[in-house]
Amino acid sequence: MRKSLVALTTLLILGSAAPLWGGTVYVPYAVNRTVRGHMFTTEIRVHNDDNEAHTLTYLFIPVGKNGVNFDRSTEPVEVIVPGHVTIPLVDLVPDGERGMVEINADPEIAVTARLIGSRDGGATKNVGVEIPAVTSSSTIPPGKAAIIQGLNRTAGRAVTDLYIATLSIERTQCAVEVRKRGGAEVIEQVLSLAPLSLTPFYDVLGLLAIDNASDMSVAITCDRIARPFAVTHDLETAELLFIPPSATGSSSLNPFPTSSCPTGALFSRPGVFHVPTPGNPSARYDINLPGRQTFSKITLDMEFTHGGWNRRSSDNHSVFWLNRDDVWRSNLVGYFNLFGPNRNFGKLISNLNLPAAVVRSVQQNASFQEGETYVVHYDYDTRSRVVELVMSVKGGQEMIRLQDTPTVSSLAADHFYVVFGHVETGHGPEVTTFGWAYSDLCIQVE
């Protein structure tokens, strides 16, 4: 997306990437309409997976409405769900309306939704299709493309509606790119959408003067969290197809981790152990020792997959931060960050036993690619008097080799911790690494 996104990146506002407020779930498409004598409705059910009763509230936000403008102290409807009971939410959508439903629920409440087409005014009810409820873990992060594929249109019979649900309380800019089955571009445009709203593009292919088509695709990239999707209606049979964003090869699932961390290692996390998101930007792991111990060497091995640059691409993108005890000053074993695509280098610093505001720093120029998986090996070896970090493409070439000299003769500690990813309010130039995947961590000491 590629021209519009160059311009769109200037609009990315990191502060807007905050997660949905706690306990909020969105059913992105809620409908109650009759078309050509067929009824189209959304059914929502909630289940309480606890012995005690729990409460939820729901609010219907019609298409095109600014969801921020509702009075959430008075307008939501409150429902009490008894323990281990499933109940439907009824009278959600006014007759003839479409929109999305905001549900604020206790953690014990599970939400499911289904889109139903009923022929002949409700005489024959189809099984329907599931509508995945949207939570903080299933939104599309800022700057990430959501691919909606398989859009169809048959003149006079089947139409596809495209929707973009914006889930930020700020106005959202989205770059939209539509392509035909063979890859030809139909249109590319940047849209400005209302906060916390559902924006429809009814019969989107018809809007583009396409009478008949199959397997068309739309790529949508927004500067704030969002959830695009599409709905195809067969207007003769009342059959429906709900089309969510496609899965991609950036998945962090890895059923066959390659970690060879030995059993006696100080600390390990095989497989993918952290993927930063707006609701979970960083992960810290504490390593407590049985009393103060002294080591001559500490080694860190890990892998990570580059998930794309933050808007502030020239700032620190964390690979790892390894610290002794709980204080940064004089206790930093290793802190490794990447910079790019404008500055293009990796940087390592440490400060063991050094005075305040004094660090050892080494860096090397290199270019790093989104979607690439890299392997990192780091040694802080006081016996050999070598500090060395080597980063390579997994299964490929060496990218960086950074070398320095230890500032201590041994490593004495009763506690280490290691951090992956930066928080959104990080110090100075630290920025988030949303979409990166950290995996196969192994820390050893001698």
Same domain, 157 and 201: yes
Same domain, 87 and 186: yes
Same domain, 61 and 181: yes
pLDDT at 279: 85
The CATH number of whichever domain residue 274 belongs to comes to 2.60.120.200
Distance of CA 437 to the CA centre of its chain: 11
pLDDT at 18: 34
Strand partners, 153: 213
Same domain, 235 and 311: no
Q: Which tens digit of pLDDT belongs to each residue from 10-19?
A: 444 333 333 3
Look at residue 254 and tell me if it is in a domain. no
Check residue 421 and report its DSSP letter.
S
User: Which of these three, 243, 276, 309, is where a domain ends?
Assistant: 243
H/E segment holding residue 5: helix 2-8
Distance of CA 419 to the CA centre of its chain: 19
Same domain, 229 and 80: yes
Domain count, the chain: 2
Look at residue 258 and tell me if it is in a domain. no
Same domain, 236 and 161: yes
Look at residue 256 and tell me if it is in a domain. no
Range of the domain at 18: 2-243
Q: Model-level pTM?
A: 0.65
pLDDT at 241: 94
Same domain, 300 and 239: no
Same domain, 282 and 371: yes
Same domain, 376 and 300: yes
Integer Cα distance of 320 and 391 in angstroms: 12
Same domain, 316 and 434: yes
* Contact call for residues 40 and 31 (beta carbons, < 8 A): yes
pLDDT at 305: 94
* Contact call for residues 131 and 29 (beta carbons, < 8 A): yes
Q: What is the DSSP string of 50-102?
A: SSS-EEEEEEEEETT--GGGS-TTTSSEEEEE-TT-EEEE-S-S-TTEEEEEE
* Contact call for residues 35 and 119 (beta carbons, < 8 A): no
Distance of CA 406 to the CA centre of its chain: 38
Residues of the chain with pLDDT under 70: 1-22, 122, 250-259, 426, 428
pLDDT at 16: 33
* Contact call for residues 280 and 137 (beta carbons, < 8 A): no
Same domain, 48 and 134: yes
Look at residue 220 and tell me if it is in a domain. yes
Q: Which tens digit of pLDDT belongs to each residue from 203-235?
A: 999 999 999 999 999 999 999 989 999 999 998
Same domain, 210 and 273: no
* Tokens representing residue 308 in the block: 């794309």
Integer Cα distance of 221 and 250 in angstroms: 16
Look at residue 59 and tell me if it is in a domain. yes
Look at residue 286 and tell me if it is in a domain. yes
β-sheet with 398-404: strand ranges across = 267-274, 437-445, 297-305, 373-381, 386-393, 398-404
